[in-house]
């Protein structure tokens, strides 16, 4: 598992029991999330935009006003925001869908997009260009990490390795640092995440039908099934 440890453990916990019983799970986060030392000023702000659960956690640590409505991407970000006390609403499974929804709905502005240092989609810029006033502020950074020694060891063996990738940036980084000879079975949460992986010598690459944890779990389940059928034995995940 390549996500930060807590997110990886949540994902694994929600896999079907049979799938979990057929794999050896190895945690090797290749990205670390750290809150940035910034102040979030919300005077005059009419609502927040969250496109990741990491931004929600960072905002909560900084005591950002829970009375503001929160427009969120995806079920995980939305449930995280609700759990932290915001009146959160899911307005799309992707940043593209969020932009389209907000442009159609035209909520009161200005809005504030709290995000990571590295992000895609230019949410604030596109909304502002179309008539909504939207500011943006990075509240966390994403530090890239090498594979752990355990993951490196397994990558050099003969057993198939299943690697779920959840963002284009982590996929690019994984493609850069993977040097293993083990049969590689890849799951990508989106086409944009899959694109950097085509340079790898992999046995199979499966793209989730939708960029959601549920569809990624289904993709991983199918990869485990196929990998065991083709390769046999336990599959490191």
CB 25 within 8 A of CB 12: yes
CB 134 within 8 A of CB 127: yes
Task: pLDDT band for 102, please (50, 70, 90 cuts).
Answer: very high
The mean pLDDT value for 125-148 works out to 95
What the block records as the tokens of 29 is 């986060």
Edge-to-edge strands of the sheet including 111-116?
31-35, 134-144, 111-116, 47-50, 69-72, 87-90
101 and 67 belong to one structural domain? yes
CB 27 within 8 A of CB 236: no
**Residue, of 231 and 28, whose pLDDT is higher:** 28
Q: What is the mean pLDDT of the chain?
A: 93
117 and 152 belong to one structural domain? no
Beta bridge partners of 89: 71
pLDDT per position as a tens digit, 169-197: 999 999 999 999 999 999 999 999 999 99
Q: What is the domain range of residue 173?
A: 5-32+146-236
130 and 107 belong to one structural domain? yes
State how many domains the chain has: 2
- pLDDT above 60 for 233: no
- Residue after which a domain boundary falls, among 107, 141, 175: 141
The mean pLDDT value for 194-219 works out to 94
């Amino acid at each position: 598992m390549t996500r930060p440890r807590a997110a990886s453990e949540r994902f694994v916990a929600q896999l079907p029991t049979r799938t979990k019983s057929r794999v050896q799970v190895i945690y090797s986060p290749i990205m670390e999330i750290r809150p940035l030392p910034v102040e979030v000023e919300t005077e005059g702000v009419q609502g927040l935009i969250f496109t990741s659960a990491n931004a929600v956690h960072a905002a909560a640590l900084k005591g950002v006003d829970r009375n503001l409505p929160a427009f969120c991407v995806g079920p995980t970000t939305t449930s995280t925001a609700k759990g932290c006390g915001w009146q959160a609403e899911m307005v799309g499974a992707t940043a593209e869908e969020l932009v389209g929804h907000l442009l159609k709905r035209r909520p009161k502005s200005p809005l504030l997009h709290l995000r990571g240092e590295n992000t895609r989609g230019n949410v604030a810029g596109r909304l502002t260009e179309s008539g909504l006033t939207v500011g943006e502020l990075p509240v966390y950074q994403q530090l890239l990490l090498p594979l752990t020694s355990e993951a490196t060891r397994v990558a050099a063996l003969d057993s198939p390795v299943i690697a779920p990738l959840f963002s284009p940036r982590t996929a690019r980084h994984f493609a850069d640092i993977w040097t293993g000879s083990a049969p590689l079975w890849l799951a990508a949460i989106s086409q944009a995440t899959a694109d950097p992986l085509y340079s790898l010598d992999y046995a199979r690459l499966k793209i989730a039908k939708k960029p959601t944890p549920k569809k990624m779990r289904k993709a991983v389940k199918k990869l485990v099934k196929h990998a065991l059928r083709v390769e046999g034995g336990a599959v490191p995940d």
